[in-house]
Structure 1
């Protein structure tokens, strides 16, 4: 008879619980959470994982943000820059704050097989989260083409062509309609001075030329019900009650940094603040110039005089030593 020793009982191994991962959380919960965060943090959050990056660039995140009214105003800047091959191309940037300075951050390239990004002398307007680009020159020929950049997905789509080919035209957005003025020959201007695009019907209609031409020729923009413009190298606002143009006070820093050889490129309404963009030639390197930007907030003082006072919140160079052939195509404030 053999003795079979009884094996000692095995110790139960306690299974350690793994901490929950993001992959176990439903996508709709993550999207609804991210929608409540400012879009300025999305660039950092996209580095968490590929899945996060995918969700942050999907239409779902913007739909969720729109439902709760959490939209941010972002400045989109388009520059026409030379390339090493001696050609030029458009590049899109966001103008944002970084370490207390205004800086240009490259935007992920907008892709479209049917869109040529290098169309110079076009005119652009912002409509909510989209940018409409109209006309311009393609191989020195004017074009009627209209393209739309969706700033949420950074993709392009086609829109109905204008009735007249235009370049160097001017445009503005008002009451769900886009107005495009000029940019054609003098012969054409008599009949087709401008045209208007109805967003609801997606159709263009001619805009007759008014009998008197009271347009502002220099850079301008409207903030609320006030028009701001550059006149005689001074930044001014239009007092509609008195029918007079008055100088905006408090902009001494901008005038100090903007030399005599500077040229104001654009004035932009960005979330109720005035963004002033200008370029300045370098005295020693005459083949180059720099791009400057200032952000100005306003208050209206009733005493001792009814005037507009500006507070320069930020003012610095955003693009240094740019080649003289560069051009700023557009700067627009978009809600995303």
Structure 2
């Protein structure tokens, strides 16, 4: 065989592997350093990669390396049939953002209930499609797996609100007597229920309690019918009422300050419980003008920032638009907002945001 013939054969032959197969722990170490926005693409490489990107070993390695990220999970309600679905907000490789459906969790979204994010888990309380009444579940967001929790130690017709203080989740709902409210506590460290708490006699009618936030170690539960807010301090086991901060809805808390979009005045408002006063967040005029006349809006907290969701309609096409807003204190009480990005994150369906959950994975 001539040298010329051998040269042509070598040119078109399969090149040898530059390196042998990597050990499993090295692959895990490499993947742990990659942003989660690339995991959906990596899961398409092979069954092996699909298994790795949801493995406990990978997320344990991410935590050890300090590569964990805040991930925003979003519960959406279909305006046509009332069904609830779970999505996660992903940043695409091109820098844009979108909501990605998690089909395996659809059966675990209650029509009415409470959601609480704790680290890499989401705790769900309420009437679920797939588990008995008064049961509760936790969702491991690293592997998208569902775990049944011990049965609640209180019988509730419906769960109104739930939130967490010092590792304990306080679940409040309406018991068999529709005029009687009950509160029970789930300890996330022991994974056990603690004795029930006494609720005020004035707290009646489960459907009246429609929102809850935590600020400075206290729970603020809004009652829109009675037109005041219940305030509960676990350390003192004491209930109070607050009529000054009544007018808020679909709100969130960042650094112990409550934020919500006031669609009537087209303003982002902030309430500081230390000052017992309302302020207006400046610097967002262009964004809020875009959200004008929205039939709904939702403000969620996300890695120390705000995520403002509102609908957008172009012709017959419906979409959900989301803006990430960073916050800055200026001259004492002044709060300024800056839009980091604003994208159409879901197009083609008629949904509204029921709940957002800041998960660390």
- Give me the TM-score of the superposition, normalised by structure 2: 0.72
* Gap change, CA 1:283 and 1:308, over 3 Å in 2: same
Residue correspondence of structure 1 range 108-127 to structure 2 within 5 A: 109-110=104-105, 116-117=107-108, 119-127=110-118
* Gap change, CA 1:319 and 1:38, over 3 Å in 2: closer
Q: Distance in 1 between matches of 2:157 and 2:54?
A: 34
1:262 to 287, 291, 295: 295
Please tell me whether the aligned partners of residues 122 and 329 of structure 1 are also in contact (alpha carbons under 8 angstroms): no
Residue 258 of structure 2 aligns with which residue?
227
* Gap change, CA 1:211 and 1:37, over 3 Å in 2: closer
Residue correspondence of structure 1 range 1-336 to structure 2 within 5 A: 18-20=16-18, 24-81=21-78, 89-98=83-92, 99-107=94-102, 109-110=104-105, 116-117=107-108, 119-136=110-127, 143-162=133-152, 163-167=154-158, 169-184=160-175, 186-189=178-181, 192=182, 194-201=183-190, 202-209=192-199, 211-214=239-242, 218-230=249-261, 233=265, 234-264=267-297, 266-279=298-311, 290-302=319-331, 306-323=333-350, 326-336=351-361
Aligned residues: 301
Q: Distance in 1 between matches of 2:194 and 2:326?
A: 36
Q: Distance in 2 between matches of 1:327 and 1:263?
A: 7
Residue 220 of structure 2 aligns with which residue?
none
CA drift at 1:293: 1.6
Which sections of structure 2, spanning at least 5 residues, go unmatched? 1-13, 200-237
Q: Distance in 1 between matches of 2:256 and 2:47?
A: 45
Farther off after superposition, 92-101 or 307-316: 92-101
CA drift at 1:79: 2.4
Give the alignment's Cα RMSD to 1 decimal. 3.2
Based on CA coordinates, which of the two structures has the bigger radius of gyration? 1
Structure possessing the higher relative contact order (Cα contacts under 8 Å, 6 or more residues apart): 1
Please tell me whether the aligned partners of residues 137 and 167 of structure 1 are also in contact (alpha carbons under 8 angstroms): no
* Gap change, CA 1:44 and 1:222, over 3 Å in 2: same
Residue 3 of structure 2 aligns with which residue?
none
Please tell me whether the aligned partners of residues 121 and 329 of structure 1 are also in contact (alpha carbons under 8 angstroms): no
CA drift at 1:270: 0.7
Please tell me whether the aligned partners of residues 72 and 88 of structure 2 are also in contact (alpha carbons under 8 angstroms): yes
